[in-house]
Amino acid sequence: MKARVFVTLKSGVLDPQGKAIHHALGALGFAGVNDVRAGKLIELDLADGTSEADIEDMCKKLLANTVIENFRVERDAA
């Protein structure tokens, strides 16, 4: 079973990396980019039957720092 964990900065948290990407896109001539936020995608290959609660626990204990980050989990249909 596979799960994808998307870790993103909470809204309101300054994102210097997103800002740098935004600037670089502008420098490349891409107009109309209003904002950029950078995050992480973590792919997990899990034993079948791993519960949603277990994955959430993994996110809270390690994969995301919930002080500054949100997380969202997508599971592949088995």
The reply to whether 68 sits near another protein by the rule CB under 8 A is yes
- In whole angstroms, what is the distance from residue 20 CA to residue 22 CA? 5
Smallest gap, in angstroms, from Cβ of residue 77 to another protein?
Answer: 28
Cβ nearer to another protein, comparing 16 with 29: 16
- In whole angstroms, what is the distance from residue 45 CA to residue 68 CA? 25
Quick one: which of 2, 4, 20, 24 contacts another protein (CB under 8 A)? Answer: 20
Q: Which residues pair with 8 in a beta bridge?
A: 70
Cβ nearer to another protein, comparing 30 with 66: 66
